[in-house]
């Protein structure tokens, strides 16, 4: 049985437009929440211009939180922001 056999082109276009609208809203919500934005290890290396060994040292020394799935390492953007905030040195006024 074909589930969309009796759907007209207009109905299909309306469904497709609705799907695109929902997908767009979801993308906007996700990209606005640093808790939901993930970077992989390659992204972190490029962002901070550090070596694999430095990233490994940061993980081993609890400098940055991470998740590991198999051999793949992921970082939340919010955790990268926390690392930057923890090491922030404001300009001193004289």
For residue 69, being part of any structural domain is answered with: yes
Nearest residue to 35 (alpha-carbon basis) of 70, 67, 73, 71: 67
* 67 membership: H or E segment, kind and range: strand 67-69
Q: Give the range of the structural domain holding residue 58, as residue numbers without chain letter.
A: 38-86
Taking the C-alpha atoms of residue 74 and residue 20, their distance in angstroms, rounded to an integer, is 28
pLDDT for res 57? 98
What's the pLDDT tens digit per position in 59-77? 999 999 999 999 999 999 9
Residue 60 domain flag: yes
- Residue 6 in any domain: the answer is no
Which DSSP helix (H) or strand (E) runs through 76? strand 72-76
Specify if 46 maps to a domain: yes
| Stretches in the chain below the pLDDT threshold 50 | none
Q: Which helix (H) or strand (E) holds 23?
A: helix 9-32
If one counts the domains in the chain, the total is: 1
In sequence order, which residues have a C-beta less than 8 Å from that of residue 39 and are 6 or more positions away? 47, 74, 75, 76, 77, 80
């Amino acid at each position: 049985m074909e589930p969309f056999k009796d759907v007209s082109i207009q109905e299909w276009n309306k469904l497709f437009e609705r799907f695109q609208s929902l997908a767009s809203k979801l993308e906007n919500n996700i990209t606005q929440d640093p808790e939901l934005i993930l970077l992989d290890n390659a992204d972190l290396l490029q962002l901070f211009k550090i070596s694999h060994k430095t990233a490994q040292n940061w993980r081993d020394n609890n400098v940055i939180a991470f998740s590991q799935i198999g051999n793949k390492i992921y970082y939340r953007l919010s955790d990268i922001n926390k690392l930057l905030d923890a090491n922030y040195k404001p300009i001193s006024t004289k």
